[in-house]
Amino acid sequence: MSHSPLTPGIVPGRLDAETYSENFSDLHPPLDRHEARVAADRCYFCHDAPCVTACPTSIDIPLFIRQIATGTPEAAARTIFTQNILGGMCARVCPTETLCEEACVRETAEGKPVKIGELQRYATDTLMATGDHPFERDDPTGKTIAVVGAGPAGLACAHRLAMYGHKVSVYDARPKPGGLNEYGIASYKSTGGFAAAEVDWLLQIGGITIETGKALGNGLSLPDLKAKHDAVFLGIGLASVNALGLGDEDMTGVLPAVDFIAKLRQTSDLASLPIGRDVVVIGGGMTAIDAAVQAKLLGALNVTLFYRRGRDRMNASVFEQDLAASHGVRIITNATPKAIHGNGAVREIEFDYTDDALTPTGETLRLTADQVFSAIGQTLQGEDLPALDGGKISVDETGRTSVSGVWAGGDCASGGDDLTVTAVAEGRDAAEDIHATLMGAVG
User: Looking at residue 7, what is its pLDDT?
Assistant: 63
**Do residues 237 and 412 lie in contact, with contact meaning Cβ atoms separated by under 8 Å?**
yes
Q: Where are the domains of the chain?
A: 17-21+242-376, 33-129, 144-239+380-438
Query: What CATH number belongs to 33-129?
Result: 1.10.1060.10
Closest listed residue to residue 23, CA positions, set 192, 264, 188: 188
User: Looking at residue 205, what is its pLDDT?
Assistant: 98
User: Looking at residue 6, what is its pLDDT?
Assistant: 44
Query: Identical fold at 17-21+242-376 and 33-129?
Result: no
User: Looking at residue 310, what is its pLDDT?
Assistant: 96
User: Looking at residue 8, what is its pLDDT?
Assistant: 65
CA–CA separation, 114 and 56 (whole Å): 18
User: Looking at residue 4, what is its pLDDT?
Assistant: 43
Q: How far apart are the first and last CA of the chain?
A: 66
**Do residues 294 and 186 lie in contact, with contact meaning Cβ atoms separated by under 8 Å?**
yes
Cβ-based neighbour number of residue 397 at 10 Å:
9
Query: pLDDT truncated to tens, each residue of the chain (443 aa)?
Result: 334 444 668 999 999 999 999 999 999 999 999 999 999 999 999 989 999 999 999 999 999 999 999 999 999 999 999 999 999 999 999 999 999 999 999 999 999 999 999 999 999 999 999 999 999 999 999 999 999 999 999 999 999 999 999 999 999 999 999 999 999 999 999 999 999 999 999 999 999 999 999 999 999 999 999 999 999 999 999 989 999 998 878 899 999 999 999 999 999 999 999 999 999 999 999 999 999 999 999 999 999 999 999 999 999 999 999 999 999 999 999 999 999 999 999 999 999 999 999 999 999 999 999 999 999 999 998 888 999 999 999 999 999 999 999 999 999 999 767 899 999 999 999 999 999 999 996 65
**Do residues 160 and 135 lie in contact, with contact meaning Cβ atoms separated by under 8 Å?**
no
- Per-residue H/E/C for the chain: CCCCCCCCCCECCCCCHHHHHHHCCCCCCCCCHHHHHHHHCCCCCCCCCHHHHHCCCCCCHHHHHHHHHCCCHHHHHHHHHHHCCCHHHHHHHCCHHHCHHHHCHHHHHHCCCCCHHHHHHHHHHHHHHCCCCCCCCCCCCCCEEEEECCCHHHHHHHHHHHHCCCEEEEEECCCCCCCHHHHCCCHHHCCCCHHHHHHHHHHHHCCEEEEECCEECEEECHHHHHHHCCEEEECCCCCEECCCCCCCCCCECEEEHHHHHHHHHHCCCHHHCCECCEEEEECCCHHHHHHHHHHHHCCCCEEEEECCCCHHHCCCCHHHHHHHHHCCCEEECCEEEEEEEECCEEEEEEEEEECCCCCEEEEEEEEECCEEEECCCEECCCCCCCCEECCEECCCCCCECCCCCEEECHHHECCCCCCHHHHHHHHHHHHHHHHHHHCCCCC
Closest listed residue to residue 370, CA positions, set 262, 295, 275: 275
Superfamily in which the 17-21+242-376 domain is placed by CATH: FAD/NAD(P)-binding domain (3.50.50.60)
User: Looking at residue 383, what is its pLDDT?
Assistant: 86
Cα R_g (the chain), whole angstroms: 23
**Do residues 88 and 128 lie in contact, with contact meaning Cβ atoms separated by under 8 Å?**
yes
User: Looking at residue 142, what is its pLDDT?
Assistant: 97
Strand partners, 280: 304, 372
Residues 144-239+380-438, CATH architecture: 3-Layer(bba) Sandwich (3.50)
User: Looking at residue 429, what is its pLDDT?
Assistant: 98
**Do residues 181 and 159 lie in contact, with contact meaning Cβ atoms separated by under 8 Å?**
no
**Do residues 370 and 276 lie in contact, with contact meaning Cβ atoms separated by under 8 Å?**
yes
- Per-residue H/E/C for 332-373: ECCEEEEEEEECCEEEEEEEEEECCCCCEEEEEEEEECCEEE
Closest listed residue to residue 164, CA positions, set 201, 134, 135, 137: 137
The CA-atom distances, in angstroms, between 49 and each of 61, 66, 159 are: 8, 13, 28
Core vs surface per residue 212-235: b (16+ CB within 10 A) or e: eeebbeeebebeebbeebbbbbbb
**Do residues 10 and 1 lie in contact, with contact meaning Cβ atoms separated by under 8 Å?**
no
Work out the burial of residue 109: count CB atoms within 10 Å of its CB; fewer than 13 is exposed, 13-18 middle, 19 or more buried. Answer: exposed
